Structure 1
Amino acid sequence: MPEPVSFLENIFERGHVFLTRLSSRWDAHANRRTIVILLLVGTITALSYVYVIQPPESFPVDTLISVQKGQSLAEVAKSLQEAGVVRSASALHVFVKLIGSERNVHAGDYIFKEPRDLFSVARALVVGAFGLEPFRIRIPEGATTKEMAKIFGRLLQRFNSENFLAQSAQQEGYLFPDTYFFLPNITEDAVIQAMRQNFDQHIAALRPEIASSTRSLSDIVIMASLIEREARNSADRRMISGVLWNRIDRGMLLQVDVSFLYTIGKGTFELTNKDLMTDSPYNTYTRKGLPPTAIGSPSLDSLQAAVHPTKSNYLYYLADRNGVTYFSKTYAEHLRKKRLYLGT
């Protein structure tokens, strides 16, 4: 018969073994659960990290994004999140501080040609990689300020066509037609200044001759704008210039059709008798002299033609539907050529 103490010790020993085994099983189960939880947390964290740094689906490609001077990093980050540049303002705040500091953020206009991840956006802010590249913009010869406003408004994101037209109201004919390279954030005033400066540079060589003539710069620019629309080549420009100056010097009506393009948008072969009687200061069929302003921006060749007209006794001209120009000294001769070449 076993001793009571030995019996109890045996019971406790067996119980301890059982509890130890149970505890081990419990610990193993708990460890596995902890590992699973940690893996899940890690996976979620990794996926969240990947999600946060990736560009939003609505990333504003080729859109000007402004960072205002004096904005805090928190304000900048919030505005970029609202603009769809980054997914998380907080994450951008952290990234900027990791690679630089709040004071390193460069104010200005940014443009991204393709979606950028969070790190790339943060780096752009810190190093001032604005991404701005000039647009190549061609303004055709003879273009009006209204036509220019449409061209600039289509290509420049911040361009306000109404402001441009208001500021250029007295500049018709003085904004030189040319190919320009403008940054997308250029202001309307800066565009006007650049184009007017270009005009001044081109007209500089002609100023002494204009000053010594009986014509004002305004008259030359207006005449050149008519010539630009009326003629297709240099020879015709100088001939037509001579005819129009002859008519002005004789007190005759200019009777040019191109001024109607400026006022009612109709060309020579679209005009009606009613159109020819339209009450307008630009109607050279009813008003003597030059129109009150230019009807577009003349080329240098047209400006030169206005200053250096071909001397002749011609008072009339017409162009057929192929653009060939015929000149006449008398009205009777003009009518004959009109019937011959235009069938009217």
Structure 2
Amino acid sequence: MSQEEYRNEERRPAQHRSAGHGGKRVAPSHPEGERRPAPRRRRKKRLGAWGVLLYIIFVLGISAILAGVGWMWANDVLALNKAPLTATVQVEEGDTVSDVADKLKEAGLIEYKMVFKMFCALTHVSGQAGEEDAKITPGTYQLDTDMDYRALVSSMGSSSASRMITTVTIPEGQTEAQIFQLLEEKGVSTVEQLEDTAANYDFNFSFLKGVLPLGDAKRLEGYLFPDTYEFYMGEDPVSVLNKMILRFDEIFTEQMRADIQASGHTINDAVIIASMIEKETDGQDQAQIASVIYNRLDNPTSETAGYLNIDATILYATGGTEVDLNADTPYNTRTHTGLPPTAISCPGVDALRAAVYPDDTNYYFYALGDDGLHHFFRTYQGQQDFIATQERYQNG
């Protein structure tokens, strides 16, 4: 094959070359002369000018709405452009962030509860009010619309200056029940919470070890010292009661404790006797009344035979104003010898001192005269003779 023939051979189709060299002829996939169809191209859908305009309007509208909502949320979070308002919010023991959000919304302090809850979640404010690590503490708070979310949360903390304080004066001679009622009226705590705490919380004071066991709310009777206190509104009932017991602990000195024990009596004996003194008199004769009680108590073979015969103990048990001499109760000191089970009031410092340091007398009886003073007697007959001369007793 010449060089030119070789070049012509190279230009032939492959199938022709094969045939020319004895190879098998490959049939073409399309008949000769027929054009292979070109693949179809997908036609792109094009938005018309109107569609583009609608899309732009939609995007701008959504952006405007989101911007507007975001601005309103930001106003609420940062306390911007809010009308001046001051409101009182009560956070209860066990309130969740959701509960607090409801109360803030109801008080008009926030607009968006969901945003407040999101803020609390992001700033790790969680749990229930009163729990150990909770940032929100039970109490009554004075809040206003100038406070942003962060200020609202911090203002509901245990050391907040926004936490409302109330001053409560507890009179001498009030019973535990009367004190609890007063504290509830002042917004400090509820009677139910105080009773439950008094019954079941084990306060760490040694002088409470000899009183009633846990489970009886009267175990603190006599130990809630009457004084003027400042409490947080909605304060933890443990804290409330602990303040009053701690004050008793301060007033009933170590010397008084040593002296009462040296006399053969306990601190609890002194508290019970002081509570009866508080109910019998508020005058200068408390130490004399104390001497009568001790004489009856310590001399069971005397004319009084160990009965204290103090009607105030019966009234404490029955809750009435008329003395039922036959009342079936261990507090009936006319039918039961010795001291009643608990104190019958919360005595003040003078009554406590009288119980520890009674006068040294031989008196077993006393009676209130027309002059408004107590008169004391060694015998029952002496008392009755005196009563016969007093007009106050003549009409029954």
TM-score between both structures, scaled by the size of structure 2: 0.61
1:24-35 alignment runs, 5 A limit: none
| Superposition misfits of 4+ residues, deviation over 6 angstroms | 49-52, 66-70
Aligned partner letter, 2:258: P
Distance between the aligned counterparts of 2:386 and 2:257, measured in 1? Answer: 38
| Higher helix proportion | 1
Aligned partner letter, 1:79: D
- Cα deviation digits, residues 143-178 of structure 1 (max 9, x gap): 111111101111125x23123123322111111111
Aligned partner letter, 1:194: K
Q: Does 1:146 align with 2:177?
A: yes
Match of 1:256 among 303, 310, 327: 310
Match of 2:152 among 119, 125, 140: 125
Q: Measured at CA, do residues 103 and 239 of structure 1 come closer, stay the same or move farther in structure 2, by a change above 3 Å?
A: same
Task: Find the counterpart in structure 2 of residue 242 from structure 1.
Answer: 291
CA-CA distance at 1:316 after TM superposition: 0.5
- Cα deviation digits, residues 55-113 of structure 1 (max 9, x gap): 68xx7x33324799995xxx6994355433335217976xx99xxx9639893247554
1:269-284 alignment runs, 5 A limit: 270-271=322-323, 275-284=324-333
Task: Find the counterpart in structure 2 of residue 224 from structure 1.
Answer: 274
The residue matched to 2:285 in structure 1 has which SS?
helix
Gaps of 5+ in 2: 1-70, 126-133, 199-216
1:64-79 alignment runs, 5 A limit: 64-65=90-91, 78-79=101-102
Distance between the aligned counterparts of 2:313 and 2:142, measured in 1? Answer: 43
Q: Measured at CA, do residues 143 and 127 of structure 1 come closer, stay the same or move farther in structure 2, by a change above 3 Å?
A: closer
CA-CA distance at 1:260 after TM superposition: 2.5
Task: Find the counterpart in structure 1 of residue 82 from structure 2.
Answer: 53
- Cα deviation digits, residues 190-213 of structure 1 (max 9, x gap): 112111111111112311112212
Q: Measured at CA, do residues 185 and 239 of structure 1 come closer, stay the same or move farther in structure 2, by a change above 3 Å?
A: same
Task: Find the counterpart in structure 1 of residue 123 from structure 2.
Answer: 103
Task: Find the counterpart in structure 2 of residue 27 from structure 1.
Answer: none
- Cα deviation digits, residues 89-143 of structure 1 (max 9, x gap): 17976xx99xxx96398932475547x33x4354632764741132111111111
Task: Find the counterpart in structure 2 of residue 163 from structure 1.
Answer: 193
Distance between the aligned counterparts of 1:91 and 1:291, measured in 2? Answer: 57
Max radius of gyration: which structure? Answer: 2
Task: Find the counterpart in structure 2 of residue 203 from structure 1.
Answer: 252
State, as a whole percentage, how many aligned pairs show the same letter: 28
Task: Find the counterpart in structure 1 of residue 61 from structure 2.
Answer: none
Q: Measured at CA, do residues 68 and 315 of structure 1 come closer, stay the same or move farther in structure 2, by a change above 3 Å?
A: closer
Aligned residue-pair number:
281
Match of 2:106 among 83, 91, 101: 83
Q: Measured at CA, do residues 327 and 69 of structure 1 come closer, stay the same or move farther in structure 2, by a change above 3 Å?
A: closer
The residue matched to 1:53 in structure 2 has which SS?
coil
Q: Measured at CA, do residues 296 and 70 of structure 1 come closer, stay the same or move farther in structure 2, by a change above 3 Å?
A: closer
Aligned partner letter, 1:108: I
Which 10-residue stretch deviates more, 189-198 or 221-230?
Answer: 189-198
Aligned partner letter, 1:292: P
Distance between the aligned counterparts of 1:165 and 1:120, measured in 2? Answer: 36
Distance between the aligned counterparts of 2:270 and 2:361, measured in 1? Answer: 19
Task: Find the counterpart in structure 1 of residue 12 from structure 2.
Answer: none
Aligned partner letter, 2:106: A
Distance between the aligned counterparts of 1:292 and 1:76, measured in 2? Answer: 43
Q: Measured at CA, do residues 65 and 278 of structure 1 come closer, stay the same or move farther in structure 2, by a change above 3 Å?
A: closer
TM-score between both structures, scaled by the size of structure 1: 0.70
Is contact 1:52–1:88 with CA below 8 Å preserved after alignment? no
Q: Which has the higher contact order (CA 8 A, sep 6+)?
A: 1
Aligned partner letter, 1:226: M
Distance between the aligned counterparts of 2:295 and 2:232, measured in 1? Answer: 45
Q: Measured at CA, do residues 89 and 325 of structure 1 come closer, stay the same or move farther in structure 2, by a change above 3 Å?
A: same
Distance between the aligned counterparts of 2:169 and 2:163, measured in 1? Answer: 19
Aligned partner letter, 1:133: M
